[in-house]
Amino acid sequence: MSIDRVNTYNEAVSYILEIPRFSAKNTTDDTRSFMGRLGKCDTKTVIHVAGTNGKGSCCAFLNSVYMKMGRKTGLFTSPHLVDIRERIQIDGEMISKEDFLKYTNLIIDSVNEFRDDDSSYHPSFFEFLFFMAFRYFEDRHIDVAIYETGLGGRLDATNSLPRKSICIITEIGMDHMEYLGDSLEQIAGEKAGILMKGVPAVYWSGRKECAEIIKNAADSMSAPCYGVSSENAKVLRTAEKSIDFSYKCGYDNDTIFTVNTYAQYQVYNAILAIRALDLLGIDISSEAVKQGIAQMRWPGRMEEIEKNIFLDGGHNVDGIEAFIQTVTADGCKGKRHLLFSAVTDKQVEIISRMLVECAAFDRISVCELNSQRAKKLTELKMIFEALAGTSAKAYELCVYGDVASAFDKERELIKDGDRLYICGSLYLVGAVKEYIEAKYL
């Protein structure tokens, strides 16, 4: 049975959002077979990025540098925070609504052609958007394509790319265990599945057990492999909203880079990008590289949306650990407020305990997300009530029924010198950004 084309942008969005209701993940063979019908990959530089934490930021650093170099860049990332078109960008601009409709229909037409009398093939939600991005980038004749994986690597739709210039694996941690395995070694093996025979790779080597898995996988494919860790970055100066650092490799390099955030984890994402650029033959001491690193902005990663109000997408153990490290070094002279929510498939009890035991917050507020995956408000309240006695610092607990009322009240409560942090889920970050745009902008 053929699929009907859609007629408007809104119909296109609705169609894609409905895909999870009638389509499941396809086999690798089916995905690659369908991908083959979409044409060759003619883009000169193709960068593929996997990992648990930091892969979106690493992609954004690369994108920012190449744009500063005057290259035409395509960026495919996930998830989106407010607008589904955020996932597909050229030169920092989201795909237009007209082109979103056009490429939705192009993929629908391709699916209809791919099917035979006995086939019911349909791309999954993520696959559909990836296929749209691929065709859009190829048709626009970009110079550099940067693709971020979804959940894993080996079985990810983006791994059907026919060619790659470099592979990057960012920090690996415990997340999406129901799909990727319940140990770091298993998860690392899935992420290492993006490696391609003979193609150079850069990976975060901070965890020995993960580094060994990735290095062995690279060796088996004759892929030159280069580890990067915190030892490759020397922090020179930390200011209120920026960090200056130098990158240390196998040779002395005194080039000073700046990230315009006080989140130290972005230094580590930046040096992964810098090492990859070095391997791709880019002069990393050039002004374009320095400006590209300094001017990178990635929404929802310690993003200051209003004075002293910060959004961070930390939602797993490693992400929350990095968040806490940043918060406790912020030099806040007043009180710290935290607005928290989460989804059910995360390690909510563990990350809640981390947030309490760091003793950084004077007030912790919880709210329930408008999502089928949301952790129930009653459960969040019980978790933080039970944890109250475990902190070296007493905190006030407040409960809100929805994101809008929570944000309005917490925004009203912060005084000069106070800080409000919002974290726990990218769904929460997106909901707050959407609400702010609707009410305050």
Tokens of 2: 């053929």
How, if at all, do strands 256-259 and 363-367 pair?
unpaired
311: part of which helix (H) or strand (E)? strand 309-311
| CATH classification at residue 395 | 3.90.190.20
Tally the residues of the chain: 441
Considering the domain architecture, whether residues 387 and 351 belong to the same structural domain is answered as: yes
Considering the domain architecture, whether residues 221 and 343 belong to the same structural domain is answered as: no
Q: What is the pLDDT of residue 171?
A: 94
3 in a structural domain: no
Q: What is the pLDDT of residue 245?
A: 95
How, if at all, do strands 309-311 and 363-367 pair?
unpaired
Considering the domain architecture, whether residues 145 and 245 belong to the same structural domain is answered as: yes
Considering the domain architecture, whether residues 235 and 361 belong to the same structural domain is answered as: no
Q: What is the pLDDT of residue 142?
A: 98
171 in a structural domain: yes
In 3D, which of 367, 345, 338, 351 has the Cα closest to residue 431?
Answer: 367
Q: What is the pLDDT of residue 174?
A: 78
Considering the domain architecture, whether residues 371 and 395 belong to the same structural domain is answered as: yes
Range of the domain at 159: 9-295
Considering the domain architecture, whether residues 51 and 197 belong to the same structural domain is answered as: yes
Q: Domain boundary residue among 233, 263, 295?
A: 295
User: Would you place residue 391 in the very low, low, confident or very high pLDDT band (cuts 50, 70, 90)?
Assistant: confident
User: Would you place residue 117 in the very low, low, confident or very high pLDDT band (cuts 50, 70, 90)?
Assistant: low
The per-residue pLDDT for range 310-366, each reduced to its tens digit, is 999 999 999 999 999 999 998 899 999 999 999 998 899 999 999 999 999 999 999
Q: Domain boundary residue among 274, 295, 316?
A: 295
How, if at all, do strands 243-247 and 233-238 pair?
antiparallel
The per-residue pLDDT for range 75-93, each reduced to its tens digit, is 999 999 999 999 999 999 9
In total, how many domains does the chain have?
2
Q: Calculate the average pLDDT of the chain.
A: 93
The per-residue pLDDT for range 42-76, each reduced to its tens digit, is 999 999 999 999 999 999 999 999 999 999 999 99
In 3D, which of 227, 181, 225, 182 has the Cα closest to residue 208?
Answer: 227
283 in a structural domain: yes
The per-residue pLDDT for range 147-185, each reduced to its tens digit, is 999 988 999 999 999 999 999 999 998 776 676 777 999
Instruction: Give the Cα separation of 220 and 215 in Å (integer).
Output: 9
Q: What is the pLDDT of residue 254?
A: 75
Considering the domain architecture, whether residues 283 and 334 belong to the same structural domain is answered as: no
- The alpha carbon torsion through 434, 316, 263, 241 (nearest 10 deg) reads 20
Q: What is the pLDDT of residue 441?
A: 61
Q: Domain boundary residue among 256, 274, 295?
A: 295
Q: Which residue has the tokens 């193609």?
A: 199
Q: Which residue has the tokens 């030159």?
A: 224
Instruction: Give the Cα separation of 330 and 276 in Å (integer).
Output: 30
Q: What is the pLDDT of residue 251?
A: 57
Considering the domain architecture, whether residues 380 and 426 belong to the same structural domain is answered as: yes
User: Would you place residue 23 in the very low, low, confident or very high pLDDT band (cuts 50, 70, 90)?
Assistant: confident
Q: What is the pLDDT of residue 252?
A: 52
Q: Percent of the chain having pLDDT more than 70?
A: 97
What are the residue ranges of helices labelled H in 115-253? 125-139, 177-180, 184-191, 208-220
50 in a structural domain: yes
Q: What is the pLDDT of residue 253?
A: 67
DSSP 134-174: HHHHHHTT-SEEEEE-SS-STT-GGGG-S--SEEEE-B--S
Average pLDDT over residues 290-309: 94
Considering the domain architecture, whether residues 317 and 288 belong to the same structural domain is answered as: no
The per-residue pLDDT for range 252-267, each reduced to its tens digit, is 567 899 999 989 899 9
Tokens of 305: 């949306």
Average pLDDT over residues 266-274: 96
User: Would you place residue 250 in the very low, low, confident or very high pLDDT band (cuts 50, 70, 90)?
Assistant: low
Bridge partners for 183 per DSSP:
none
What lies within 8 Å, CB to CB, of 57 at 6+ separation is: 266, 269, 296, 298, 301
Q: What is the pLDDT of residue 249?
A: 73
202 in a structural domain: yes
In 3D, which of 173, 34, 207, 178 has the Cα closest to residue 106?
Answer: 34
In 3D, which of 57, 45, 210, 254 has the Cα closest to residue 141?
Answer: 45
Residue 315 phi, psi dihedral angles, 5° rounding? -145, 5
Considering the domain architecture, whether residues 203 and 322 belong to the same structural domain is answered as: no
Using DSSP's 3-state secondary structure scheme, residue 49 falls into: strand
Considering the domain architecture, whether residues 285 and 326 belong to the same structural domain is answered as: no
Considering the domain architecture, whether residues 214 and 321 belong to the same structural domain is answered as: no
In 3D, which of 342, 394, 338, 332 has the Cα closest to residue 373?
Answer: 342
138 in a structural domain: yes
Which of 109 and 252 is assigned the larger pLDDT?
109
1 in a structural domain: no
